[in-house]
Structure 1
């Protein structure tokens, strides 16, 4: 897997469009092989075979790997994923600086944005955003990268009016993934006038209708009450230490801890202090947008995300 990541990173660091596209497809092929089941139940997918299949699935023009993986398998559920050797190896590699995919994709995104806007470059930006979403979901600790000002600013820059509607919509989804269960990222978003950026885009007459719909969804999401960032699961001897840093839902797939597991999920004081309620976020948002009360009322009455709003 390190060999494939090294090859993909070399391509991602290039300023040549076709090489960047190939690197993106290599990463996509690897993630697809990790997340999809082999159609033959009796065959066990190992980290080595996953890496080989992903590498072979990336043709010279950067295409084919992900489509072939999708056609050859079905999605794994969370319990299957947690038992998969390839996923475990991938998760461990993401804990280190050298092999962190999200970090490399953010760097690629930065270089693509510096090249300006054209059709082919926009497609590469969209691909990079999609992969960032996937990597953050597979390795939630990587979300901490977006607590850094320069990384959060990349996403805010992609929401500027000169970007095409497809990029703006994909950026909003990436922003949601980066903020879920990560209040410190939300505070970074607010500190960089993210609310002003989002509401200005919403109020602009030039903003496409599909983007405005995504913006409304984002505002509903933003107003949801927060929980502290990525709680630790109770320690279990059967689970590698690095995997015990995963969020409760993912870590739970590796097996529940004993009666003391709950007491081990303690919130740090600084973490608790950065958590805002719906009312507090309503006050912040109302500085930039009128009728926020209507959004909160809808959120409480309809519970669009399936959770209660206090």
Structure 2
């Protein structure tokens, strides 16, 4: 049996309903520009929360604050009850998986090698015996099995996006932070990715996802935080946040929100003259 250093600690799994991420009064300023102002946000284990808002509203900036990539001007973020600044990078890598907008890989790694990178945080721990299964399941669930031996620079934008998402899925962390995971995808793969994220939440993970498509947010999210100019304009269930009046005002374009006649799911549609 291989010896393992005492610092290779496996984090306890989150319990359903436990607060996975909590942000309180966070402000982020670059130069003279305040990109986030007094933002509060709570995400629970077993919940999928969507961040929505117009271009420049602060969605990706907020996600960067939750990952620790954006150092706050003021306010606090806790991850699984511990202040974010107290986590080491290795500890963070075992607690949350992050998918950024810019996920390009330009070195000639194969798809399988990139997905295997998602297992790096578990090297030398008791969970490294999951590597083979985790990589295989991530590749199959993201529909990239036929691309396994392709070099990533040869892929289309959508294929690269699915490869990057598979890397995050393979990490098997209890918290997923996803920045526009559907942006480069066709209709089928948009649904596949969000169904997979939804399933992870149903299995007890906490999922935060930045989305531009309000219909997808309505269909898949348990809760929504709507941002406007760096502030929270509304937060709650899809039905509470996605009203015609509010979305019309925030996006500065007339929008209709109505239930699907068969399923009752919310449909969000711009008014086209």
Which is greater in Rg?
1
> With structure 1 as the length reference, what TM-score do the two structures score?
0.26
The answer to which structure has the higher helix fraction is 1
The answer to which structure has the higher strand fraction is 2
> With structure 2 as the length reference, what TM-score do the two structures score?
0.29
